[in-house]
Copies of this chain bind each other. A is one copy, B any other.
Amino acid sequence: MADSVRESGSDFMPRFDANGLLTAIAVDSATKDILMVAFMDEEALVRTRKTGLAHFHSRSRGELWLKGETSGHFLKVEDILVDCDQDALLLVVEPQGPACHTGARSCFYRKLGEEGLIPVGN
């Protein structure tokens, strides 16, 4: 019952996993390119909705992380889409610079070939 309400209803009932996290994907509103994937806990979600800037939860540092806090490359959130079982979010964003910490526009700058990874120019 809870599952069908979650899937078909209009109530936002985010389903955090055992670690209190949702998967969050940032997609460029202009190009539809996927920029990065990270995780959000409840605090990151609340801060994101309140400020309009993407916040995540760093699993390695165990803390709230405002994307762009040090680089200035914030992700301005235009829309948040929710998937069927409400354990993943799609952030439709206007990036204020390269989204990847490597300086690449997107974190997905390589594809898998037969012999290894091949640059794709993202």
User: Residues of A with Cβ closer than 8 Å to B?
Assistant: 7-12, 23, 25, 27, 32-34, 36-37, 49, 79-85, 88-90, 100-102, 104, 107-112, 115-118, 120, 122
Contact = CB atoms under 8 A, between A and B. Distances in A.
Contacts of A115: 10
Contact of A116 (B8, B12, B122): B12
A25 B37 contact: yes
Contact of A90 (B84, B85, B104, B108): B108
Contact of A108 (B7, B81, B104, B108): B81
Contacts of A120: 81
A51 to B, nearest CB: 15
Contacts of A79: 111-112
B10 A118 contact: yes
